[in-house]
Amino acid sequence: GVMEELGLGPEVLLQDNPRLIYARLTGFGQAGTYARSAGHDINFLALSGVLSKLGRKDENPYAPLNLLADFSGGGVMCAMGVVLALYERTRSGKGQIIDASMVEGVAYLSSFLWKSQNLGFWSRPRGENFLDSGAPFYETYKTSDGKFMAVGAIEPQFYEQFIKGLGLDSDKLPSQLSYSDWPKMKKRIASIFAQKTQAEWCSIFDGTDACVTPVLSFDQVASHQHNKQRSSFIKNDHEEISPRPAPRLSRTPAVPSLKRDPFIGEHTEEILLENGFTKEEIAKLHSDKVIAFSKLKSNL
């Protein structure tokens, strides 16, 4: 309702420009009991049902930072809505309003969880299934130097290579899908991983299809051989590392800026001047606290 209070709601603007695509990104959506309630990623994730699936056995559910609802269910889904509306406009010539709810976005993003319930993936309690840390072959393990390896050896042929890399004989082990043996297998595998460093395990599993990779820190990702070969991470003029834009387009690839990120409000005055505002109008907006400035200060 903020835009309506400013007299800039979608109905007003669409009357002026029927081709306008008006995206409304909120946590709970434009209608419903919680529509006007405050919330954050963890709340939207909880209401979607997805949070109930996240967490280890006998532990509370946990939210994976604020990536799922805010950025994936919210930002990415809203952006997809804009793209869909742009495509539809090429046919109808009309714009439309996008109601992007983070609750609905993350729920839809997680459709696999609903659609696969009868396939055996999620038939057991939280933390006891294939992909939620229940299986010994889909887990992270600590190495002797305090780092970690990630294992995702689900398919039998990948699992066989994983077991071989550990120096074990699959003929002398319980069946891969013996749920009752999973806790014991996890402890045994953990003890094996704890005997070598992360680099030593990489030398064993790199080049195989065991689905075993190092868990890289932010400090490690740019120097990893695979990421270096693809230039997956870039440095700006302040030597700060960030991911290169994805996905890559063959004809019109993104050209990332190598300048530092601007401070909030750093270019407010510059942009308003470019768009026809006078210095007096800008000063009034600033004094009325409609806009904010954040100018760089000299260190001298």
Gap between the Cα atoms of 202 and 228, Å rounded: 16
Q: Return the residue matching tokens 């004809």.
A: 251
The continuous run of DSSP H or E covering 235 comes out as strand 233-235
Place of tokens 């999973």: 182
Helix-, strand-, coil-residue percentages of the chain, each rounded to 5: 40, 10, 50
Active-site hit among 41, 70, 169, 288 = 70
Question: CA quadruple 120, 114, 53, 147: dihedral positive or negative?
Answer: positive
36 phi and psi, to 5 degrees?
-100, 5
Q: DSSP letter string over 279-295?
A: HHHHHHHHHTTSS----
Residue matched to tokens 């696969």:
116
Sign of CA dihedral 20, 21, 27, 33: positive
Rounded Cα–Cα distance for residues 164 and 150 (Å): 16
* Catalytic pick among 16, 40, 171, 181: 40
Annotation says 40 is catalytic: yes
**What phi, psi does 246 have (nearest 5°)?**
-135, 155
What kind and span of H or E run contains 243?
strand 241-243
Q: What's the token pair of residue 205?
A: 């599993």
3-state secondary structure of 234: strand
Q: Which residue has the tokens 């933390």?
A: 127
Question: Which residues participate in catalysis according to the annotation?
Answer: 40, 70
